[in-house]
Structure 1
């Protein structure tokens, strides 16, 4: 159904005259008559009766009018839902308990007036494809992996270097340490079943192992964070890495220890990705917020792979 014709019908019904409807719509009276006639042909009924005083709705016109108004309301809402600045800003954070999710919570507290849709995508290829298609507006990733540069239409900025901490159970040999150096971790088994080959975090830990001679095991099924914490708490021979800003909760009797790693401190580099032509005004607000509230990028005494984007 031609929405211009429906809009013209409603304007003529409200005005009671085709001439006034034409003036309101900034078209000629002939255009109004033509649109109404086309609509009547499509519906198979007469909508108006011409009188000396103007145009009067027929019984069919009176029946159609409330539905015509609803058609226009639905059409206006549909347009508003995709108009720049009206729809929510859609951002990928990978995981709900991650540092990235914390960054978005901080942004929401600072800008509660901005509607947000927070998604969790897995692979960087999926996230980049979603950015390019407009499915999402931005994604937090560690980029770019060796041999896999970002497409030219994708912009990125490094927003946070998150220090890694060692997580141990109470009986682990390093459980009593206030901090540990990377060299002290040599020979200890670090269990991380969530590492997936081919991901950017998989590449990160591959480089960490190669650089410092660590033993990171990704064996066994990944049953999630609760199972990981249970195993670390009960197994003195195993420890794991956890981001300083990762939010996890465990039973008090687990006795888990979060221990800073130093000399150097391995940091996981979080970057924000977006399409260079994305016009959403809230995207610029998010970038400005992250630039003003995050710190610690490329700090002295830290380590990150040489393939990550610069600050």
Structure 2
């Protein structure tokens, strides 16, 4: 696909008007229209519903938009990769809402001039291989729970121990509790449809369940956090786990509960993983920042697998 056509398509989608997109791109409205029409012809679909004063995406346009953004992002990274001294530090996290991403947000606040490129790979093994091969500069993962040791040229340092919360709806038997012990969960089912076989987080939760006698239920497709909200809100038996620092916003009508786990508090660990011969100057800055900010693991009151 033509780069300018893709760039113009994204600009129109963001602006909601051909005229405003033309102004944003410093081209004529006619040029914007021609580029979008050419892209529609090349794909054989309509991308926009044109109406006076407003342009909205069709279903096909909605499907194309994230891929179009990825194309533009990829081309920008390609250009940045050959600009002397300008390449962003590329770091992987499990999910942008989780505490590992929060560590990078705090780093960026402390070092606002450091360019970061955040990616989300699927699992720890893939992330470690990406570090080893040079696809990314670092990852923040619980690589302790991978089935294989780190490669010889890859190192890690612990930078996080995140306490877990029980996450329930208002009708759950623990909904009114100020805290819950892991032992109280014995015999209960904890619903975690995002737990994929072979991933480090699945290995962690399997060990946690085995230690305290509850069951991790992965039945059902993972359609995202909103579906989990809906399901838990309507159930008196379904609960899940979330990290204390995980950013979640749900509809007020759901009246969901986050209940701390105590005596002991299970903590989910995070490690910064990097290749020893990586000389990117921002990597050393990130490593120093995260290791200095890590308070260390308490001697008692917590649970983490060996």
TM above 0.5, yes or no, is yes
| Shift in alpha-carbon separation, 1:220–1:86, aligned structure 2, 3 A | same
Aligned to 2:120: 120
Q: CA deviation at 1:133?
A: 1.9
Pair 241,78 (structure 1): closer, same or farther in 2 beyond 3 Å = closer
Partner of 2:293: 293
Does residue 284 in structure 1 map to residue 284 in structure 2?
A: yes
Q: Which residue of 1 aligns with 2:267?
A: 267
Which deviates more, 292-301 or 133-142?
Answer: 292-301
Distance 2:168 2:140 in 1: 28
Q: Aligned residue pairs: how many?
A: 229
Q: Which residue of structure 2 aligns with residue 148 of structure 1?
A: 148
Name 1:19's counterpart in structure 2. none
* CA 177–113 in structure 1, closer or farther in 2 if over 3 Å, else same: same
Q: Secondary structure, in 3 states, of the residue corresponding to 2:104?
A: helix
Question: In the TM superposition, what are the counterparts of 1:41-190 in structure 2 within 5 Å?
Answer: 81=82, 83=84, 85-145=85-145, 147-190=147-190
- Structure with bigger gyration radius: 1
**More divergent stretch after superposition (137-146 vs 149-158):** 137-146
CA distance in 2, matches of 1:299, 1:158: 15
Q: Structure 1 unaligned runs (5+)?
A: 1-76, 307-311
Counterpart of 1:114 in 2: which secondary structure? coil
The answer to whether the 8 Å contact 2:164/2:241 transfers is yes
Q: Decide whether aligned partners of structure 1 residues 147 and 251 sit closer, same or farther in structure 2, where only a CA change above 3 A counts.
A: closer
Task: Quote the Cα distance in structure 2 between the aligned partners of 1:215 and 1:87.
Answer: 45
TM-score for the superposition, normalised by structure 2: 0.72
Displacement over 3 Å in runs of 4+: 77-80
Tell me the C-alpha RMSD between the 2 structures. 1.7
* Structure 1 range deviating more: 222-231 or 180-189: 180-189
Label 1:109 to 1:188 Cα distance change in 2 as closer, same or farther (>3 A): same
Q: What is the CA deviation profile of residues 168-199 of structure 1, one whole-angstrom value per residue up to 9, with x for unaligned ones?
A: 10011110110011111112221111101111
Task: Name the residue aligned to 2:241.
Answer: 241
Per-residue deviation, residues 12-41 of structure 1 (Å, max 9, x unmatched)? xxxxxxxxxxxxxxxxxxxxxxxxxxxxxx
For 1:211 and 1:125, how far apart are their aligned partners in 2? Answer: 24
Instruction: Specify every segment of 5 or more residues in structure 2 that has no aligned partner in the other structure, as ranges.
Output: 1-77
